[in-house]
Amino acid sequence: MARSFNTAGPNRPDLNYTIPALSRLPEAPALVEQMGYFVVHAPRQTGKTTALRALAAELTAAGSHAALHFSCETGQVAEDDYAAAQRAILLQIRTEAETALPAALRPPAWPEAAGEGLLTVGLTAWARVCPRPIVLFFDEIDALRGQSLISVLRQLRSSYSRRPDDFPASVVLCGLRDVREYRLASGGDPARLGTSSPFNIKVESLRLGDFTPGEVRELYGQHTADTGQEFTGGAMERAFELTVGQPWLVNALAREVVDKIGVPRTEPVTAEHMDQAKERLILARATHLDSLAARLADPRVRRVLEPVLAGTVVNLDAYDDDLTYVRDLGLIAQNNPVRVANPIYREVIARVLADGVEAVVLADPRTFVLADGRFDMDRMIHEFADFWMENGEILAAGRRYPEAAAQLVFMGFLQRVVNGGGYVGREYGIGRGRIDLLVRWPWRTPEGKRHWQREAVELKVRREHQADPLPAGLRQLDGYLDRTGLDHGVLVVFDSRPGAPPITERTTITAITSPGGRPVTLLRA
CATH for 239: 1.10.8
The neighbouring-strand residues paired with 40 are: 174, 206
Q: Mark whether 355 and 451 lie in a shared domain.
A: yes
* pLDDT tens digits, 151-191: 999 999 999 999 999 999 999 999 887 765 555 555 544 44
Q: Mark whether 138 and 266 lie in a shared domain.
A: no
Domain boundary among 207, 224, 246: 207
User: 107 near 131, Cβ under 8 Å?
Assistant: no
Question: E-assigned strands of 377-488?
Answer: 423-429, 434-444, 450-462
144 within a domain of the structure (yes/no)? yes
Q: Mark whether 256 and 356 lie in a shared domain.
A: no
Number of structural domains (the chain) is 3
Q: Mark whether 130 and 223 lie in a shared domain.
A: no
Mention every residue, 6+ apart, whose C-beta is less than 8 A from residue 216.
Answer: 236, 239, 240, 245, 250
d(CA 462, CA 464) in angstroms, rounded, equals 7
301 within a domain of the structure (yes/no)? no
315 within a domain of the structure (yes/no)? no
- This prediction has a pTM of 0.85
Domain boundary among 207, 230, 254: 207
Domain boundary among 207, 233, 250: 207
Q: Mark whether 373 and 512 lie in a shared domain.
A: yes
Q: Mark whether 507 and 375 lie in a shared domain.
A: yes
179 within a domain of the structure (yes/no)? yes
The neighbouring-strand residues paired with 507 are: none
User: 85 near 75, Cβ under 8 Å?
Assistant: yes
Q: Mark whether 25 and 79 lie in a shared domain.
A: yes
Q: Which range marks the domain in which residue 383 is found? A: 346-524
For residue 426, the SS3 value is strand
177 within a domain of the structure (yes/no)? yes
Digits of tens for pLDDT over the chain (525 positions)? Answer: 789 999 988 998 999 999 987 788 999 999 999 999 999 988 888 889 999 999 999 999 999 999 999 999 999 998 999 999 999 999 999 999 999 999 999 999 999 988 889 999 999 999 999 999 999 999 999 899 889 999 999 999 999 999 999 999 999 999 887 765 555 555 544 443 344 445 677 778 888 889 999 999 999 999 999 999 999 999 999 999 999 999 999 999 999 999 999 999 999 999 999 999 999 998 887 778 888 888 898 999 999 999 888 877 666 665 578 888 898 889 999 888 889 999 999 989 988 888 789 889 999 999 999 999 999 999 999 999 999 999 988 888 878 898 899 999 999 999 999 986 899 988 886 656 788 999 999 999 888 899 999 999 999 999 998 999 999 999 999 999 999 999 999 999 999 999 999 999 999 999 999 999 999 999 999
d(CA 470, CA 456) in angstroms, rounded, equals 16
Instruction: For residue 227, give the nearest of 273, 272, 258 by alpha carbon.
Output: 258
259 within a domain of the structure (yes/no)? yes
User: 119 near 82, Cβ under 8 Å?
Assistant: no
For residue 332, the SS3 value is strand
* pLDDT tens digits, 119-144: 999 999 999 999 999 999 999 998 99
The neighbouring-strand residues paired with 38 are: 172
292 within a domain of the structure (yes/no)? no
321 within a domain of the structure (yes/no)? no
Instruction: Report the run of H or E that residue 293 belongs to, with start and end.
Output: helix 287-294
CATH for 26: 3.40.50.300
Q: What angle do CA 424, 45, 268 make, to 5 degrees?
A: 55
Q: Mark whether 199 and 51 lie in a shared domain.
A: yes
Q: Mark whether 279 and 359 lie in a shared domain.
A: no
Q: What angle do CA 372, 374, 375 make, to 5 degrees?
A: 140
Q: Mark whether 149 and 257 lie in a shared domain.
A: no
* pLDDT tens digits, 195-215: 444 567 777 888 888 999 999
Q: Mark whether 227 and 201 lie in a shared domain.
A: no
Q: Mark whether 253 and 179 lie in a shared domain.
A: no
